[in-house]
Structure 1
Amino acid sequence: MLYVDIPTAAEFKALNEARADACVSIYLRTTPLAQSPDATRIELGNLIRQAREQLQGSGFDKRRLALLTEHLDDLLDDDEFWRLQASSLAILATPDSVRTFRLPNNLSSMAIVSDRFHLKPLLRSITFPHSAFVLAISENAVRLVGVYADLPPTTIKVPGFPKHAADAVGKGSLNDRSPSGRVHGLEGQNVRFRQYARQVDAALRPVLTGRDTPLILAGVGRVPSIFRSVNSYPGLVDQTIEASPDHMTEAQLAEAARPILDGAYQQELSRLRALYEARASEGRATSDLSDAARAATGGAIEVLLVNIDTVVPGAVDETGAVTFSDKDAPAGYGVADEIAARALASGARVLGVREPDLPAGGELAAILRYPV
């Protein structure tokens, strides 16, 4: 089992705004196997040493460095902490505090020192948090199952859900073939199923409003397709779990949902790549760091994809002008990180991806609201 704690949007915003005389950001691969943490702890020790040497080389205050090192060494020696891990670990430390996040994504190992935290790798988990809702619907029953990266799947109580299709239309059965206007036979069943589907959709609205969590249908036959025709939730995924959900456990539904989540993520990336190409021909897209920095400063970025595996040290001033550094140092920070922060502040959608997912490779791809 993966033990995961992904930062919320509010936590990410607070981390993004944090400033200190030394902010150490460490990312490393971990394992959920409790009996195999030794190699990871050795790697963390090496990354802590890299950060410490970088601060020593910059003349950082020795007492503050001792406090920072104590935080990190305490974490390194905490056997209980290492017993429960996921696929990657983020450690964000200052001389005054330390935060950790266990993440489901496989991230590249790195240690970054600056006056702010390096947060691009965290965007990967926020972009694709491995969570979804599964709507298991049939003529006989309907239920909503939450699928999570860090918890077992669970059935969510939805006020207003009908027990089944016949209950939704106040009948004992939908197999009544006696004529009653057009509501009889196969056509009559379809009318009843649409009534059922509309009740389910109406009951879901208060639960799903304001969310962007994917919704995956599970079912076979006419009912899932009829629900899809009346659905009002924009996060409904195109692919369906093609199996009768009546006798599927929550765990089985979650297992069937995960490859669909992966496919939906790739489909969304393909859509954004196509949008980038279309906007590029209009002068409304860029992969240049300097152009993207100016666009982010002016609030012109609509969607930003950033490479989570690289760091380009430097600084961005209040006008959006970029100054690149030859090497990372506490006086500098990741340029793409700052671009992402400014884009987020202006309401842009920001996604953490890997280089092959970027339309032009490199560090980022910015889709703009207007030419700059």
Structure 2
Amino acid sequence: MFTRTDLDMLLAHDEAPALTFTLPTHTAGREVRQDPVRLRNLAGDALGQLTNRGMRRPDAERLLEPVTALLRDDEFWRHQDRSLAVFVAEGVSRVFRVPLELEERVVVGQGFDVLPLLPLLAEDAPFLVLTVSAGDARLHQASRFDLREVEDAPIPRGVSQISAETDYQNTLHANPAVRHAGRRDVAVGAAKTHNFGETPEEQRKAQLVEYLHRVAAGVDEYMGSNRVALVLAAQPEVRGNLLALGRFQHHPVVELDVNPDALEGPDLQRRAYEAVRPLLSRERDEKIEHFKSLFNDASPKSTGKLEGAIKAACYAQVDTLLVRRGARMWGRYDQDNDQVIVHGDAREGDEDLVGRAAKETLRHGGRVFFVDDDHFRSGQVVGAILRFEQPKP
């Protein structure tokens, strides 16, 4: 899962050369064999760019060694998602399997090209799905595109696990060797037995509450301080008891009223994403409306020009950057002369200016959201909400 921590690490590296490889991959079938071949071709392209820029070939090959190692790893290619993103620089090597359809390309520049992965932290952000019934509890990592169970989640797998502990305690308490070992042992055993209830119904309820306590504690442990949305898929009794425990206060929770034992794979992913989507897109929609209000009023706290957005972002002025989905503009930003030069096609030494605006916004604590075409005017590729008024030229 690509997280904000991963993004911050990539943004912290702002030196050249930094290499970003992206390519669509396959999860199964004969096409899987094509994926390493295509990465090898991209690595060859990167080698050519590096040597053309004056790097000695042995040094370029050494820089590309993490990519070469992936090409030799047959097991790695058997476990892919929809795309692969590889980031390589001096002292840096990060690989991400991505549930997005990414463009096949290599970018050699100053700092990494993080723009393709940003949708994973916006309305397509990852979230968690917790399915709980008396019979089972499972935690899943999910997104708009996929759903995968967290195999090592620290949660019990059903109330039967608690029942087994109760049965063990009852057997232990019935053992004469234990029962007559001393009054203190009898008192402790009696207290434990009483905690699970005197009657079968009391015992069932007590075991259910204990089970849900452990589920909640395990999910809290797994989530930690990562403020990620959680979809709680359960029937009313289980859901109500779990939420009443007071856990998950620091995480947005969306309830899904289903019998989780009757949902699997794609159905669960689809239902969970439909439930959480308004929460994931709410902030973006609010920012779009705010930008439109400022821009339509010609407010100096907004700009709809790429040149203005880049300059503002580099000087930590951008609070929110709205990016037209799929937009790329090639050129250069001469920061010494505060001049933006835009080209129609990529030329030697160019960078993606939309990506530059996004990176600078993120580096200075701003937010970036991807926006559909109908929210922009013709020819507009970005919209920026500024932290303070931009001086007029």
CA drift of 1:26 comes to 1.5
Task: Write the mapping of 1:218-237 to structure 2, written as runs, cut at 5 A.
Answer: 218-221=233-236, 224=239, 233=249, 235-237=251-253
Q: Does 1:293 align with 2:326?
A: no
Deviates more, 1:73-82 or 1:230-239: 230-239
Letter of the 2:269 counterpart = R
| 2:321/2:368 contact within 8 Å kept | yes
2:277 to 265, 268, 275: 265
Aligned to 2:98: 103
Aligned to 1:83: 78
Deviates more, 1:9-18 or 1:142-151: 142-151
Letter of the 2:384 counterpart = A
Q: Which has the higher contact order (CA 8 A, sep 6+)?
A: 1
Q: Call closer, same or farther: CA 1:333–1:173 in 2, change over 3 Å.
A: farther
Letter of the 1:117 counterpart = F
Aligned to 1:37: 32
Q: Call closer, same or farther: CA 1:155–1:335 in 2, change over 3 Å.
A: same
Give the Cα–Cα distance (whole angstroms) in 2 for the partners of residues 144 and 71 of structure 1. Answer: 35
CA drift of 1:24 comes to 2.1
Give the Cα–Cα distance (whole angstroms) in 2 for the partners of residues 304 and 7 of structure 1. Answer: 20
| 2:139/2:149 contact within 8 Å kept | no
Q: Call closer, same or farther: CA 1:288–1:219 in 2, change over 3 Å.
A: same
| 2:22/2:86 contact within 8 Å kept | yes
Aligned to 2:113: 118
5+ long unaligned stretches in structure 2:
164-193, 203-208
Q: Does 1:23 align with 2:18?
A: yes
5+ long unaligned stretches in structure 1:
1-5, 176-194
CA drift of 1:29 comes to 0.3
Match of 1:118, SS?
A: coil
Match of 2:307, SS?
A: helix
Letter of the 2:96 counterpart = F
| 1:86/1:102 contact within 8 Å kept | yes
CA drift of 1:320 comes to 10
Aligned to 2:361: 343
Give the Cα–Cα distance (whole angstroms) in 1 for the partners of residues 359 and 368 of structure 2. Answer: 9
Give the Cα–Cα distance (whole angstroms) in 1 for the partners of residues 227 and 78 of structure 2. Answer: 33
Aligned to 1:132: 128
| 1:22/1:330 contact within 8 Å kept | no
Q: Call closer, same or farther: CA 1:285–1:238 in 2, change over 3 Å.
A: farther
CA drift of 1:28 comes to 0.5
Give the Cα–Cα distance (whole angstroms) in 2 for the partners of residues 268 and 358 of structure 1. Answer: 20
Task: Write the mapping of 1:1-372 to structure 2, written as runs, cut at 5 A.
Answer: 6-33=1-28, 35-68=30-63, 72-94=67-89, 98-127=93-122, 128-134=124-130, 136=132, 145-147=139-141, 152-154=149-151, 156-157=153-154, 207=221, 210-221=225-236, 224=239, 233=249, 235-238=251-254, 240-243=256-259, 245=260, 248=261, 252=263, 255-263=266-274, 264-265=276-277, 268-269=280-281, 272-282=284-294, 283=299, 284-306=301-323, 309-316=326-333, 321-326=338-343, 328=346, 331-351=349-369, 353=370, 356=372, 359-360=375-376, 363-372=381-390
| 2:312/2:318 contact within 8 Å kept | yes
Identity of aligned residues (%): 20
What is the TM-score of this pair, normalised by structure 1?
A: 0.68
| CA displacement 1:105-154 (0-9 Å, x = unmatched) | 111222212122111112233444544042637xx689573435685345
Report which of the two structures shows the higher radius of gyration computed on alpha carbons: 2
Letter of the 1:292 counterpart = A
Match of 1:37, SS?
A: helix
CA drift of 1:34 comes to 6.0
The structure carrying a bigger helix percent of its residues is 2
Give the Cα–Cα distance (whole angstroms) in 2 for the partners of residues 112 and 126 of structure 1. Answer: 21
Q: Call closer, same or farther: CA 1:173–1:135 in 2, change over 3 Å.
A: farther
Letter of the 1:44 counterpart = L
| 1:214/1:236 contact within 8 Å kept | yes
CA drift of 1:104 comes to 1.6
| CA displacement 1:233-255 (0-9 Å, x = unmatched) | 36445551422x4xx28xx4665
**How many pairs are equivalent?**
337
| 1:134/1:257 contact within 8 Å kept | no
Letter of the 2:292 counterpart = A
Give the Cα–Cα distance (whole angstroms) in 2 for the partners of residues 120 and 87 of structure 1. Answer: 17
